[in-house]
Amino acid sequence: MFRNHLQSAFMIALAVSASALGACAMAPAAPASSSIDPPQGERVMTLTASGVQIYSCEFDSQQRLGWVFKSPQATLFDASGHAAVRHSAGPSWEAEDGSRIVGRVLAQRPSDTRASVPQLLLETHSTAGSGVLSAVRYVQRVQTVGGVMPAAPCTAQGELGSSPYLANYVFYR
C-alpha cells in the first residue's frame, strides 16, 4: 500500500514538475520571511501530504480575470502509508481521532523546488476535539513540490482549477 502511494506520489511530482515549469508560483497571502522555524516547541509528528491546491477564477481590481488561491485539499500519510489527517480550507487539519486545528500563516519562504508553492510556518488559532492535534501550536509545510496556479488562463468568473502538490507537514506542540 505504502509502496503504491510512494509510486503514485512520485508520478504526480514528475507530472507537476514537467507541467508547471513555466508557471509563476503563487501562494496564499502571507508575510515574507527567511525563517519558517517555530519559535519553540517539540515535534509531535511529520506527515507526507498528497493532494491539490484549488484556485478560483476571479476579477482583480482592474477587472481582469485571474487565478486566486482558494484552498488546499490533501490527505496526510504517516511513515507506514496510513492516511492519518485530512487537510482543507481554513487552513485546517483534521485527524482520524476527530481532533482538528485551524491555522494562520506566520511566515513563508520559497520552495527548494522550482515552480512550487512556498514553504510555510503556521500557528494554530483554534482547536476542536481531543486527540493527536489537540496540543499542536505550530505547523510547518516543507519540501513542497507543485501546487502553483494552473498554467492555462481562466476564462469565466467562478471557474475552478487545481494543481497537484506534495509536501511534508511537521506538527509541533
Mention every residue, 6+ apart, whose C-beta is less than 8 A from residue 7.
Answer: none
C-alpha to C-alpha distance for 156 and 65, rounded to whole angstroms: 7
Closest among 168, 169, 166 to 51, alpha carbons compared: 166
pLDDT for residue 20: 34
Pick the more confident residue, 146 or 26: 146
Provide the grid cell at 115. 515552480
pLDDT for residue 5: 43
Tell me the whole-structure pTM to 2 decimals.
Answer: 0.81
**Distance (Å) of CA 141 to CA 8, 62, 63:** 20, 32, 33
Average pLDDT over residues 71-100: 98
Question: How many Å separate Cα 3 from the centre of its chain?
Answer: 22
Question: What are the tens digits of pLDDT across the range 27-61?
Answer: 444 455 569 999 888 999 999 999 999 999 999 99
